Structure 1
Amino acid sequence: MWRKNRSQSKNSYCIGTDLNRNFDANWCTKGASNRPCDETYCGEFPESEPEAVAVANFLRRHKDSMKLYISIHSYGQMLLFPYACSNDEVPNHRDLLELVEEATMKISKHYKNHYKYGASAKTIYLAPGGSDDWAYNLGILYSFTFELMDKGQYGFLLPPSLISKACNEALIAVKSVALRVIEKTQSRSEPRWP
């Protein structure tokens, strides 16, 4: 299992770029590395990787109709929101905090698993170049990163017996946040979703 993609660096024998450091949101500042052999290598330039280009181009094309963006990662059991690229609070910080707090409570109720939540840089660490920060700056004001279970006992190699639980927890969080975003963004003239 790899943290980075499989692209070959032009200037090193090392393989891969951390795709969650390859977007143009305070790209390659503190919390990322410009050294190709490091796990947090940010790439040669923002969107240097085809995976990042594909996501960025899709979001650019659909930004006016998108209300919600979620990047799903492992591991750590956290529901996070911008910014990861700086310690600054986004203007709708309280709104985003309310949504992830509600989602974590629902996960705890159903699965007795406790998730940390909050602004990424203040909850976990600085991570410049992330897709959620980039999407937020693009205008998708409900942008999140969900870090799946667990808290480190298994790390990236979750045993098969826990995969279903991890998926169900993620689904609870996605549903909770998505329904609240619909409530907050849908105009009164549009039909309501069930």
Structure 2
Amino acid sequence: LQVGLWQPSSISHVTEGTVMDVHIPWNSSQMLLAYFQQESIQYKVLVADLQKEIEKLHGYRSSRKRRSVPGYNYEVYHSLEEIQKWMLQMNSTHSDFVYVFSIGKSYEKRPLFVLQLGKKYRQYKRAVWIDCGIHAREWIGPAFCQWFVKEAVETYKSDPIMRRLLNQLIIYVMPVLNVDGYHYSWTTDRLWRKTRSKGSQFYCRGVDANRNWKVNWCNEGASSHPCDDTYCGPFPESEPEVKAVANFLHKHRRRIKAYLSFHAYAQMLLYPYSYTYAMIPNFNCVESAAYNAVIALQSAYGVRYTHGPASSTLYVSSGSSMDWAYKNGIPYAFAFELRDTGHYGFLLPESLIKPTCAETMLAVKTITMHLMKKCH
């Protein structure tokens, strides 16, 4: 009996008392539920028909295309092609403070586009890096990255905080880090997580792009087996997408003061370390930024986020981008796990894009405002 793990991402994180979210093939569901009852294991069916939910989203998309709403709709999920077209469009319509560039190519030779936001009149400015879509199936991530850019452009004149951020900082936004995997989650397998690289020995494709970084690589919380969802890859930075981002961050590490990565799902705001329970040297500063961020987030719709070090708040994992950023001198490194806590999981409905993004904006602004202070 094979089950797909949604939370936690690896079987190594499952111990007695762990709450798990799994998806199972319809033809084996009765057998598994009977086993749960026999062993007195508590369970709850969150999504009764996963296929139906996936088809509902795709059916809605095709009817939406026929309606052809004028302008870009930020309250729906977009394919990679649509997102990349949108990035180029933003570059041409808001050239005063949006600049698009590529930091390399993916395994399947797609461009790795990054948007640079900020007023260009100052030579040397501190910077913030934001990435989304490191895991292909977490569609709310890329939706948030696009929302962030929209807010930056639309509220620059009316919002003093946004104006201050864009005047004093450079903000790099990478809406889809794992471009090949994201494309594949649209065309072939909605629940695909990894990249799409091909190893020589196994038929299984892809590497977990958040276990492939050169920091305590391939230890606890990562798998050395190519067929696993948390496969760490044949060597650190084996994935061209990871290598390109690592090279860019390393090159600009003196000016980048914050690294923010957006994932789903769990409603958590995490900071280093992921790979050890040790406390980071600037714990007080980072903890207060995280605490204030989740309070700000909750003020929008009352949604509660847990915050804390990733290892003790979520689980231990090695080779993560957040730990790598912190170890390479970026003092504020955070990973957001956006909505929800499992009711929809990776299939968060489009109706929840707006509230999720609106509340997350408050948290991101709170963290970036911390950079304006001397606290490092």
Verify: 1:146 aligned to 2:336, yes or no: yes
Verify: 1:130 aligned to 2:320, yes or no: yes
Q: Counterparts of 1:100 and 1:39 in 2: how far apart (Å)?
A: 29
2:234 to 32, 36, 44: 44
- Counterpart for residue 190 of structure 1: none
Verify: 1:24 aligned to 2:234, yes or no: no
Give ranges in structure 1 of 5+ residues lacking alignment. 187-194
1:102 to 277, 286, 292: 292
- Counterpart for residue 144 of structure 2: none
User: Is this contact kept in 1: 2:267–2:305, CA < 8 A?
Assistant: yes
User: Is this contact kept in 2: 1:77–1:115, CA < 8 A?
Assistant: yes
- Counterpart for residue 261 of structure 2: 71
Q: Which amino acid aligns with 1:122?
A: S
Higher strand share: 2
Q: Counterparts of 1:156 and 1:39 in 2: how far apart (Å)?
A: 15
Q: Which amino acid aligns with 2:206?
A: G
User: Is this contact kept in 2: 1:71–1:146, CA < 8 A?
Assistant: yes
User: Is this contact kept in 2: 1:72–1:145, CA < 8 A?
Assistant: yes
Q: Counterparts of 1:11 and 1:111 in 2: how far apart (Å)?
A: 49
Q: Aligned pair count?
A: 186
1:58 to 248, 251, 264: 248
Runs of 4+ in 1 over 3 A off after TM superposition: none
**Deviation by residue 1:9-62 (Cα, 9 ceiling, x = unmatched):** 222111111101000111100110000111110011110001101110110110
User: Is this contact kept in 1: 2:259–2:325, CA < 8 A?
Assistant: yes
User: Is this contact kept in 2: 1:21–1:40, CA < 8 A?
Assistant: yes
Q: Which amino acid aligns with 2:314?
A: I
TM-score by length of 1: 0.92
- Identity among equivalent positions (%) equals 47
Q: Give how far 1:185 is off.
A: 5.5
Q: Counterparts of 1:78 and 1:122 in 2: how far apart (Å)?
A: 12
Q: SS state of the match for residue 307, structure 2?
A: strand
Q: Which amino acid aligns with 1:52?
A: V
2:223 to 6, 30, 33: 33
Write out aligned runs for 1:109-124 (5 A): 109-124=299-314
Q: Give how far 1:88 is off.
A: 1.1
2:368 to 178, 183, 187: 178
Give ranges in structure 2 of 5+ residues lacking alignment. 1-189
* Structure with the larger RCO, 1 or 2 (CA within 8 Å, 6+ apart): 1
Deviates more, 1:130-139 or 1:164-173: 164-173
User: Is this contact kept in 2: 1:67–1:185, CA < 8 A?
Assistant: no
TM-score by length of 2: 0.48
Q: Give how far 1:169 is off.
A: 2.2
Q: Give how far 1:184 is off.
A: 2.8
User: Is this contact kept in 1: 2:272–2:326, CA < 8 A?
Assistant: yes
